Amino acid sequence: MGKQIEISMPDKEFDGNCLNDEVKAVDPTAKAYVLASRQRIRIHCADEFDASSFQSVIDAHDCAGHILEQAIQIKMFEIDAKADEVVHERIDYDGSNFAADFESQFRIKSKLMDAIRYNETKPAEDPEFSIVWIARPAPVVLTEQKFSELSYLIEARISNAVFNANTHKQAVAALTLVDEISSYDFSSGW
């Protein structure tokens, strides 16, 4: 690399990651550095290039859009993580507390299907389906009806989490400033 070109553009804010790809399109050996103010860049490039070689790239550079997009993606990830957390929390039902992680949800729904099949095909004189289930503070006996009610509560929680996450994501997507996105509070409605 033969020389350094420094360009100042007070009306733009640069992000080195997205700018570098664009600068390399002009000179594959070039490297762009965003300086502390984020409104100045320094380009290390070959001797034959001058500032005008990079000017069209810099003029077209939309780092503000890139930074905004990254901020939205980060906030969406945080919202998804909160929704997952809510869905996996233990659930209170009928005086007991049940695990509600994905494996537990699957087992509860499977046992509900087992109960339905058993109760549909059992001889009339046989007792209804029931099983002892581990819960807090102590194991409980669950029947088809109780499995059905517990499954319904879990599905309602999942639906609420998905609805709430989508509502917050739509609100974030409508924001146009990185600071607004970063400070958006999605703690309500869970």
| Per-residue model confidence as pLDDT tens for the chain (190 residues) | 466 666 666 556 665 555 666 666 677 777 766 665 556 667 777 777 666 666 666 666 555 566 677 788 889 999 999 999 999 999 999 999 999 998 999 999 999 999 999 999 998 889 999 999 999 999 999 999 999 999 999 999 999 999 999 999 999 999 988 788 889 999 998 8
Residues 75 and 168 in one domain: yes
What is the domain extent for residue 104? 71-183
| Whether residues 137 and 164 fall in one domain | yes
Q: Which residue, of 18, 39, 61, is where some domain finishes?
A: 61
Cα separations in angstroms, 92 against 95, 135, 150, 153, 154: 7, 10, 9, 9, 10
pLDDT at 163: 96
**Cβ neighbours around 130 below 10 Å, total:** 14
Considering the domain architecture, whether residues 140 and 47 belong to the same structural domain is answered as no
Does 88 share its domain with 137? yes
Segments of the chain assigned E as strands? 3-8, 31-34, 40-45, 91-93, 96-98, 130-133, 140-143
